[in-house]
Amino acid sequence: MSRRLTLFRAAALALGFGFLYLPIALLVAYSFNASRLVAVWGGWSLHWYGELVRDDKFGAAAWNSLRIAAMAATLALLLGTCAGFAIERFTRFRGRAVFGFMLMAPLVVPEVILGLSLLLLFVASQAWLGWPAGRGLMTVTIAHATFGCCFVAVLVRAQLAGFDRALEEAALDLGARPFGVLWRVTLPGISPALVSGWLLAFTLSLDDLVVASFVSGPSATTLPMAVYSSVRIGVTPEVNALATVFLGVVILLIAGAFSLIARQERRRLSS
C-alpha cells in the first residue's frame, strides 16, 4: 500500500498546505500593493509600510505587547516547568486530579471565559483587598502567564517523559544532590522544551486579543487590540503591512529558535 497512494498523498499535502498558506501569502502580497483597494493590483509599492511607520498608534501598542509577552512568557516558563515536573514525576499527591484538570482546561477553555473570569477576579479583588489598583500591563501579564504556563507544562511534560531517568540516577550515584541533578542534568536535557515553551508562551501572548480586551485598562492597549479596532472598520493595506511585519518577526524568531534547537540536538548526537 505504500507505493500506490503516492499521488493521492502528494495531492493531500499540496491542497492542505495551499489551504493553510494561501491566505497568508495573499495578505503579504497585497501589503506591497500600491492601490488602496484590496484585491485590485496597482503595482508594487512600499507605500503602506511608510504609512505604518508614520502611524504612532501601532508603535505604542506594539511596545506594550512586547513587554507583556516577555514578562508573561518568563513567568509562564517558571510556573509551567514546575507544573510539568510535578505532573510527570509525582504520580501520587493530594489534589493531583484537580491539578491535572487545571493544567489541561485553560488549553481549551474559550478565551472569552478566561478573559471574563479574570476580569471579575481583578474587580472583586480590587474591591475587597485594594489590589490590583488598576488594570493594565500587570493584569494582562498575569492573565497571559496563566494560560501560557499550561502550554509550557505540556511541552515540558512530553520531553520529560522521553528523558532517560538513568541519567539522573547516574548523577545521584556520582554524588550530585537532588537540586544539583535538576540543575545540571535534567534541565539541560529538556532545554528544547524550555526554549520552545517560552517561545510559545511569548507568541500566544503577542497574539491574544480576547483575554487582553477583558483584563486590560485604557492605558495598556496591546497590538492585537489596536489591529482589531482597525480591522473592524475594514480591510486596509496598512493593516496588511502591519500583519506582514508581524508574521515576519514571529517566523524569524521561531525559525531561529528551532534551528538552534536542531543544531544543539545534532551536536549532542554527534558527540
Partner 1 sequence: MTGWARRRWLLIAPPFLWLLVFFLLPLGIVAAISLTQPADTIPPYTPLITRGAGGIEIDAGTASYRLLAQGDGRAYANSLGFAALATGLCLLVGYPIAFAIARAPKTWRNPLLFLVILPFWTSLLIRVYAWIAILQPTGVINRALEALGLIQAPLLLIYNGFSVVLGLVYAYLPFMILPLYGSLSQLDESLLEAAADLGARPAQVFWRVVLPLSLPGMAAGALLVFIPAIGEFVIPDLLGGAGTPMIGKVLWQEFFDNVDWPAASAVAMALVALLTAPLLLAQRLVERPREGET
> Quick one: which of 70, 86, 195, 261 contacts partner 1 (CB under 8 A)?
86
Among 51, 55, 70, 89, binds partner 1 (CB under 8 A): 89
Q: Under rule CB under 8 A, which residues in 159-218 are in contact with partner 1?
A: 165, 168-169, 172, 177-178, 181-182, 199-200, 203, 206-207, 209-210, 213-214
Closest CB 119 distance from partner 1, rounded Å = 8
How many Å apart are CA 118 and CA 98, to the nearest integer?
19
34 near partner 1 (CB under 8 A): no
39 binds partner 1 (CB under 8 A): yes
What is the smallest separation between the CB atom of 263 and partner 1, expressed in angstroms? 14
Cβ neighbors of 73 (< 8 A, separation 6 or more) are: 148, 198, 199, 201, 202, 205
74 touches partner 1 (CB under 8 A): no
Given 35, 74, 117, 191, the residue binding partner 1 (CB under 8 A)? 117
Q: How far is CA 183 from the centre of its chain?
A: 25
Asked if 127 is part of the footprint of partner 1 (rule: CB under 8 A), the reply reads yes
> Contacts with partner 1: how many residues (CB under 8 A)?
97
State the nearest-atom distance from the C-beta of 176 to partner 1, in Å. Answer: 9
Judge whether 261 and 192 are in contact, CB under 8 Å: yes
